[in-house]
Amino acid sequence: MNKSEPTASAADHWKYARELQAAHGAALAAGAILERHYRDRGYEIDSKGKDNPVTTADFEADAKLKELLHGGFPDYGWLSEETADDGARLGRERVWIVDPLDGTKEFIRGIPEFVVAIALTEAGAPVLGVTYNPIKHELFLGGAGYGCFLDHAPAAVSATRTLDHATILASRSETARGEWKAYEGSMTVRAIGSVAYKLALVAAGQADATFTLTPKNEWDIASGAALITAAGGCVTDVHGDAIRFNRKSVKVPGLVASNGHLHAALEQLIGTKSRVR
């Protein structure tokens, strides 16, 4: 099925069918903006702080997502990396949480490991996720009670049960700083850009797990949390707790995301104790 076609008819009677259709279209539209800027290199680069670049492509994609999603569902809350947060979302049951360009550093460097990440949360739970890599044209989508799909084909987490046979996706920045050297003998470590992209790859069974001890923002991980949960995997924060979204503070204290089979071993490896199963 071509990605420009409507979502599979199996979703027509799903609880979040209308939202999935909208998120699907919005991801493609924002992705087209990113792809155009990636090809012509016509964007401008600014900085939001140390090692935190932002481009005009981020803002243009954000405007398109807000037009299609927040505009299409005005009663839903809105949280985006590139939109000033006025706190109105805190009084909403359903909230769109988006990152219009997760992996900005890869985007700038010409590495095709960045994505548009869209999630819908309800009462703090991630119920729908769409992650789109506009250069590789990979579309990951899924949600609670619907399942997980990669390019409209059913997808699921891997069946790997031991770390010595596992492929774990690591942050490019963290590996460059040497933070993953301690784990290199325990498993295969592969550096990939974009937190949201890593989570989507785990959901689709193309890797077994990912984790980070570095705090992340809700928009970095919400879409991936929805996908991994829909695909049969497990996502917790670095303390082993379930991650609730749409909180006043959008910082999450690191995370562990896996196919489920490896979760306990990963928690033991990094020194956490899970309270979620």
Q: What is the pLDDT of residues 8-31, one digit of tens each?
A: 455 678 999 999 999 999 999 999
In a domain, 4, yes or no: no
In a domain, 45, yes or no: yes
Candidates 45, 52, 46; CA nearest to 214 is 52
Which residue range is the domain that position 185 belongs to? Answer: 163-270
Partners of 99 in the β-ladder:
117
Whether 28 and 131 map to the same domain: the answer is yes
Whether 61 and 78 map to the same domain: the answer is yes
In a domain, 260, yes or no: yes
Q: Print burial letters for 259-272: b (CB count within 10 Å at least 16), e (below 16).
A: bbbbbbbbbebeeb
Determine the pLDDT at residue 62.
97
Determine the pLDDT at residue 186.
83
In a domain, 277, yes or no: no
Whether 127 and 206 map to the same domain: the answer is no
Determine the pLDDT at residue 275.
46
Contacts of 274 (CB under 8 A, 6+ apart): 236, 240, 263, 264, 267
In a domain, 201, yes or no: yes
Domain count, the chain: 2
Determine the pLDDT at residue 159.
98
Q: Is the dihedral of CA 257, 132, 229, 275 positive or negative?
A: positive
- Range 216-238 average pLDDT: 97
Whether 71 and 134 map to the same domain: the answer is yes
Determine the pLDDT at residue 160.
98
Rounded to an integer, what distance in angstroms lies between the CA atom of residue 147 and that of residue 35?
28
With 80 as the cut, is the pLDDT of residue 277 above it?
A: no
In a domain, 222, yes or no: yes
Whether 27 and 120 map to the same domain: the answer is yes
In a domain, 39, yes or no: yes
With 80 as the cut, is the pLDDT of residue 42 above it?
A: yes
How many angstroms separate the Cα of 212 from the Cα of each of 62, 90, 160? 26, 27, 20
pLDDT in tens, 171-212: 988 888 888 888 878 899 999 999 999 999 999 999 999 999
Whether 170 and 101 map to the same domain: the answer is no
Residue ending a domain, choose from 155, 186, 205: 155
What CATH number did the domain enclosing 209 receive? 3.40.190.80
Under DSSP, is residue 24 helix (H, G, I), strand (E, B) or coil? helix
Residue 1: pLDDT band with limits 50, 70, 90: very low
Tokens of residue 88, six digits:
């109105």
What CATH number did the domain enclosing 102 receive? 3.30.540.10
Whether 39 and 139 map to the same domain: the answer is yes
Residue ending a domain, choose from 155, 185, 210: 155
- DSSP E strands in 37-192: the ranges are 45-47, 53-55, 77-80, 94-102, 115-122, 125-133, 138-143, 147-150, 153-155, 167-171, 188-192
pLDDT in tens, 123-169: 999 999 999 999 999 999 999 999 999 998 999 999 999 999 999 99
Whether 191 and 88 map to the same domain: the answer is no
Whether 150 and 215 map to the same domain: the answer is no
Whether 17 and 141 map to the same domain: the answer is yes
Determine the pLDDT at residue 12.
73
With 50 as the cut, is the pLDDT of residue 110 above it?
A: yes
Determine the pLDDT at residue 5.
40
Determine the pLDDT at residue 50.
72
Residue 47: pLDDT band with limits 50, 70, 90: confident
Whether 134 and 64 map to the same domain: the answer is yes
Summary mean pLDDT of the chain: 92
Determine the pLDDT at residue 7.
46
Residue 35: pLDDT band with limits 50, 70, 90: very high
- Range 255-275 average pLDDT: 85
Whether 189 and 54 map to the same domain: the answer is no
Total-model pTM: 0.92
Determine the pLDDT at residue 179.
86
Residue ending a domain, choose from 155, 173, 206: 155
In a domain, 103, yes or no: yes
Angle between helices 56-65 and 17-40 (to 10 degrees): 160
